[in-house]
Amino acid sequence: VVGDGAVGKTCLLISYTTNKFPSEYVPTVFDNYAVTVMIGGEPYTLGLFDTAGQEDYDRLRPLSYPQTDVFLVCFSVVSPSSFENVKEKWVPEITHHCQKTPFLLVGTQVDLRDDQSVLDKLAKNKQKPIALEQGEKLSKELRAVKYVECSALTQKGL
């Protein structure tokens, strides 16, 4: 799971694996989670690897990439800069290290699209939340397997 710092990568993983939403922001260095899912009546164990989005970890992070079966490239739908960085940083980084590994584009924090204080903050910078259609368009442009949106808080889309 890759993407800018504070877009909700860790919350997504914790909420998905434990059904609980973590209340505090703690920047991640590297963390692993495992969860068993049933697919076609067969149990599969998913190894989920969290990564640090902060620039301080740009040299360390790719060490976790070998043997990755699929990447989740995350951005926050209420952070236009994190959306830009999908194209400018994250997809180039994963394709440089793992050329043939597929990825999903994941828009996180969809519950904040309707949060008035978040909308006001964006409006001050002449910005708006990223629309579903923008995510779908970028997903096609970058050849992601799929575009999905979710909220770790409400568990919608997890």
Q: Where are the domains of the chain?
A: 2-149
Query: Which is nearest to 51 in space by CA: 71, 67, 23, 37?
Result: 71
With respect to CATH, is domain 2-149 assigned 3.90.850.10? no
Query: What was the pLDDT predicted at 1?
Result: 96
**DSSP character for 87?**
I
- State in Å, rounded, how far the first CA of the chain is from the last one: 14
Tokens found for residue 37: 């899912």
The overall average pLDDT reported for the chain is: 93
Highest mean pLDDT among 18-27, 47-56, 117-126: 117-126
pLDDT digits (tens, 9 = 90+) for 55-98: 888 888 898 899 899 999 999 999 999 999 999 999 999 999 99
| Alpha-carbon span 155 to 97, nearest angstrom | 31
